[in-house]
Amino acid sequence: MVHDKIEESASSVICLQETKKETFDIGFIRKFAPCRFDRFDFIPSVGAFGGILVLWNSVVFLGLVVDKSSFGITVIFSSVHDSQTWKLTTIYGPCDDPARSNFVSWFRDHDTSDPEN
């Protein structure tokens, strides 16, 4: 099902939150993602909470991970076709304190400069 929805979307970047997985490898990713997704990075879950996975197609985008924390992962993507760049931050915001307060502090300090895509 997930594979079919990803294929149907024709996307080149996929972000998944609440993965509830501590680790990923390309073998596991092949079970649910089309083969065009050949690059990835992730933040592991803590027990049964959280977890973030970002997958991308390197034929379309070069990805450079520039920030990783327990709350989010930021990737700068550069188009292989026209060299345009954009920054993607995928986050997981916990619901309970003290993690929620730590997340809010992290988010306030996160750089989102206006001139950047």
pLDDT in tens, 68-113: 988 889 999 999 999 899 999 998 888 888 888 888 888 888 766 6
Structural domains of the chain sorted by starting position, each given as residue range(s) with its CATH number in brackets: 2-109 (3.60.10.10)
pTM for this prediction: 0.86
pLDDT in tens, 11-68: 999 999 888 888 999 999 999 999 999 999 999 988 777 889 999 999 999 999 998 9
Adjacent-strand bridge partners of 54: 15, 41
Token representation of residue 15: 């972000």
**CA distance linking residue 44 with residue 113, whole number of Å:** 27
Closest of 67, 70, 104, 105 to residue 89, by C-alpha: 67
